[in-house]
Chains A and B, each alone.
Chain A
Amino acid sequence: MSKVIETSHLCRYFGEGELLVKALDDVSIDVEEGEFSAIIGPSGSGKSTLLHLIGGLDKPTHGEVILAGTNIESMTRSALSNFRRDHIGFVFQAYNLIPVLSTIENIEYVMLMQGVPSSERRKRVFEMLDILGLDGLGGRRPAQLSGGQQQRVAVARAMVSRPNIILADEPTANLDSKTGISLLDMMKDLNVRHGMTFIFSTHDQKIMDRARRLIHLRDGLIELDEQRKEFAA
């Protein structure tokens, strides 16, 4: 398996002097292709910060992030934006769908940016609708969907462009337990079937139960990097 994520001595500090906060301090991790991993830890431990740095949404104070063999720190803003579009899928806690677009349009949005031909887009969108149980909801706007349905659309949007990595920040936080489990099972299934790499930032035990690797953070430091034996091949 090849490495899709490598972080080296990653630091992210906020403020300065006495007010300096070390959100992440010297974090080095490698993630291999097809992993289903979770970054866990208490609030303020640096989970989201690490996810943001891996996703190229934030710049580290020190250290570097190499995604799919490319060091993203040296990229221009425009190049980084294109890199995110082509290699990373995001699933946010608050779904963050575009309200004026329908389910189908939201799912195909990133592919439109990539210039995927119309017939291919449609094929992939309907495949996703089928996999994620969104059949019949294609024409609805986000406001006409339940929270679980919206999060499934967000997952579809993140996956449909076939990125190398999917970063999910507390994806089940706003969902009830049953819906959360259903969504996680779908994501797990997609991970197994398509070999996509999933990294979660979470407090949710349901995610931890399904993750093959748990990266424990505390006060910006890796406390434990745990490979789950029950998932070992």
Chain B
Amino acid sequence: MLVAKLAFRNIFRQRRRSLLTGLSMGGGYILLALTISLVEGSYNNIINIVTTDHTGHVQIHKENYLERPGIFKTLSRGSGIETLLANEPSVRSWAPRIYGVGLGYGDEKSAPLSIVGIDPVMERNTTSIFGKVREGNYFSDPVNSDGYYSVMIGYGVADMLKLSIGDEIVLISSGADGSIANDIYRVGALVGSRDSYEKMTVYLPLEAAQDFFSMKGKVHEYAVMTSHPSEAWKLTAVLSAIIDDPLVTVSPWQVVEATFYKSMEADKQGNKVTMGIVVFLICIGVLNTVLMSVLERTKEFGVMLAVGTNRLMVMAMIILEIVTLGLLSCAIGFLLSLPLLYWFTHVGITMPQPIDMGGVIYDTMVGEMGAAIFIIPVVIIVGSAAAVSFIPAIRAALITPLDALSDR
């Protein structure tokens, strides 16, 4: 109690110096909170775009499919996986898919393209593909009056084969049974953009793709969504346990999109360097304040020690002074950062050059608000300040009373 009283009162002893130190810590708090908010907000936004655009939070494949995809590496729809997914409470939605490659023909030209079979209803419930339709309609009429399946194509396919809505496209590939796969489809919609990853993709209804590739009742992939991307590892563990089949692999988005995830983590490390510089500058200010304070009060510490004050108490008092000042500064920083972070979270910064991420336009950098955003800077600032004040505190505690009293 006495230590706390002394520490608190000492803060207000050199008001101007405490104010300056407090300003550097409070300003540091705001900078750190803002940096963390923007980094987390931006990455969560991008992760959300990536996972809802196509990847999903978790994917299920035949063993080694991700490393070496192949038409024969299939999962049977009747294997029970779909029942397990339907009964798992943490699964929000899921979508089966088929992947293949082939040649597409328009009236005059042909082009290699990727063929993806999707369940129109389940895919719409799982990813953002419905929102990426730019022209035409999303599988509104899967089979037209001529018996042709309606397909969606990327803009690259449309440009190369000079196709537009209502035109016919012929696809040729090889089926899983070794047969020649070929069929005529009608373009029902154009998806994405000329820069998006699916620009050379043709989306077929799952049933049509299964017919085309002679894969009745088979799929290559299940994309699964849960409540939040951060839950992916947990869901992966749950699904791996309940599927319990060594020939089936369950992978979180961090594994499926490993390159993206690793580059994101590397970038986050870079941001830590920026935060480290902010903390370093704060530490310099704090160290200067504490050293000055200890130097000025040398005689006082000498008296305290002479009359029998415990050395640990002297140390605790100095550290507590800076911790209290740090907490007060962070409290003020918190109040000032609230409206700022609210604005960044709900309005954000409009980017001068929007980024097309798989047909989804990322044009605003937004922040994020949450307990961690506000607590982490407190821990960093107060912890660093306490650590920095440790050396002057030890110095004060080890003062020889007589030397201090006689200004030796």
Binding site for B on A (CB under 8 A): 52, 55, 57-58, 77-78, 81-82, 84-86, 90, 92, 96, 98-101, 105, 109-110, 112-114, 157
* Min C-beta distance of A90 to chain B, whole Å: 6
CB-CB < 8 A to B303: which residues of A?
A: 92, 96, 98
Contact A81 B402 (CB under 8 A): no
Judging by beta carbons under 8 Å apart, are A98 and B308 in contact? Answer: no
A141 smallest CB distance to B (angstroms): 9
CB neighbours of B308 from chain A (8 A): 81-82, 84-86, 110, 113-114
Query: In the complex, what distance in Å separates the CA atom of A112 from the CA atom of B1?
Result: 10
Majority SS at the chain A contact face: helix
Q: Jot down 5 A-B pairs with beta carbons below 8 A, ordered by A.
A: A77-B311, A92-B303, A96-B299, A98-B300, A100-B10
For residue B349, CB closer than 8 A to chain A, the reply is: no
Q: How far is the CA of A84 from the CA of B13 in the complex (A)?
A: 28
Is B277 located at the chain interface by the 8 A CB criterion?
no
* Given A58-B402, A96-B303, A101-B6, CB of A113 within 8 Å of CB of B13: no
List the A residue with the shortest CB-CB distance to B307: A110
B2 contact set on A, CB distance < 8 A: 109, 112
Do the beta carbons of A57 and B306 come within 8 Å of each other?
yes
Complex interface: chain B residues within 8 A of A99 (CB): 13, 300
Residue-wise, chain B 301-323 has the 8 Å CB interface mask toward A (1 for contact) of 00111111111000000000000
B310-A98 in contact (CB<8A) = no
Q: Are A52 and B402 interface neighbours, CB within 8 A?
A: yes
Judging by beta carbons under 8 Å apart, are B307 and A78 in contact?
A: no
Q: Which residues of B contact A105 (CB under 8 A)?
A: 5
10 pairs of A and B residues whose beta carbons are closest in the complex: A85-B308, A100-B9, A96-B303, A57-B402, A84-B308, A58-B402, A113-B308, A57-B401, A112-B2, A110-B307
Q: How many chain-B residues does the 8 Å CB contact rule pick out?
A: 20
Q: Flag if A98 contacts B306 (CB, 8 Å).
A: no
Interface of B is mostly: helix
Known: A57-B402, A99-B13, A100-B13. A78 touches B311 (CB 8 A): yes
Is residue B405 within 8 Å, beta carbon to beta carbon, of the partner chain?
A: yes
CA distance A151 to B68 in the complex (A): 88
Interchain CA distance A77-B400 in the complex, whole Å = 10
Q: Which residues of A contact B5 (CB under 8 A)?
A: 101, 105
**A80 and chain B: residue at smallest CB distance:** B308
Do B311 and A98 touch (CB < 8 A)?
A: no
- Interface residues of B, Cβ cutoff 8 Å to A: 2, 5-6, 9-10, 13, 299-300, 303-311, 401-402, 405
Q: How far is the CB of B313 from chain A (nearest CB, A)?
A: 8
Known: A57-B401, A57-B402, A96-B405. A90 touches B6 (CB 8 A): no
- Complex Cα gap A92–B308 (Å): 15
Which residue in chain A gives the minimum CB-CB distance to B305?
A: A81
Given the interface contacts A57-B401, A92-B405, does A84 sit within 8 Å of B304 by beta carbon?
no
Write out the residue numbers on chain B whose beta carbons fall within 8 Å of the beta carbon of A58.
402
Task: Give the distance in Å from the alpha carbon of A110 to the alpha carbon of B306 in the complex.
Answer: 10
Give the nearest-CB partner of B6 in chain A.
A100
CA distance A55 to B303 in the complex (A): 13
| A223–B243 CA distance with the chains assembled, in angstroms | 100
Contacts of B402 in A (CB 8 A): 52, 57-58
Q: Are A113 and B307 in contact (CB under 8 A)?
A: yes
Residues in B whose Cβ lies below 8 Å from that of A96: 299-300, 303, 405
- The closest CB in chain A to the CB of B313 belongs to A113
Report Cα–Cα, A109/B307, bound state, in Å. Answer: 9
- Least distance between A85 CB and chain B CB atoms (Å): 2
Report chain B residues within 8 Å CB of A101. 5-6, 9
> Are the CB atoms of B307 and A90 closer together than 8 Å?
yes
Residues of B within 8 A of A52 (CB): 402
Please indicate the chain B residues that have their CB under 8 angstroms from the CB of A84 in the complex: 306-308
State A99–B301 Cα separation when bound (angstroms). Answer: 12
Q: With the chains together, A92 CA to B304 CA distance in Å?
A: 12
Residue of B nearest to A96 (CB): B303
Known A57-B401, A57-B402, A112-B2; contact A90-B304, beta-carbon cutoff 8 A: no
Across-interface contacts of B10 in A (CB, < 8 A)? 100
A163 to chain B, nearest CB (A): 10
Instruction: Assess A157 versus B307: contact at CB under 8 Å? Given A100-B10, A101-B6, A112-B2.
Output: yes
**Alpha-carbon separation in the docked complex, A217 to B2 (Å):** 41
Give complex CA distance A219, B160 in Å. Answer: 109
In the complex, what residues of B have CB within 8 A of residue A100's CB?
6, 9-10, 13
Q: How far is the CA of A110 from the CA of B2 in the complex (A)?
A: 11
Q: Are B306 and A90 in contact (CB under 8 A)?
A: yes
Contact A81 B311 (CB under 8 A): yes
Q: With A and B bound together, what is the CA distance between A57 and B405 in angstroms?
A: 10
Q: What is the minimal beta-carbon distance from B293 to any residue of chain A, in angstroms?
A: 12
Select the residue from A55, A78, A109, A157 with max chain B CB neighbours within 10 A. Answer: A109
For the complex, give the distance between the alpha carbons of A77 and B402 in Å.
Answer: 13
On whether the beta carbons of B310 and A81 are closer than 8 Å, the reply is yes
Nearest-neighbour CB distance to chain B for A1, whole angstroms, equals 26
Which residues of B are found within 8 Å of A81, using beta-carbon distances?
Answer: 305, 308-311
Closest to B300 in A: A98
Q: How far is the CA of A160 from the CA of B43 in the complex (A)?
A: 65
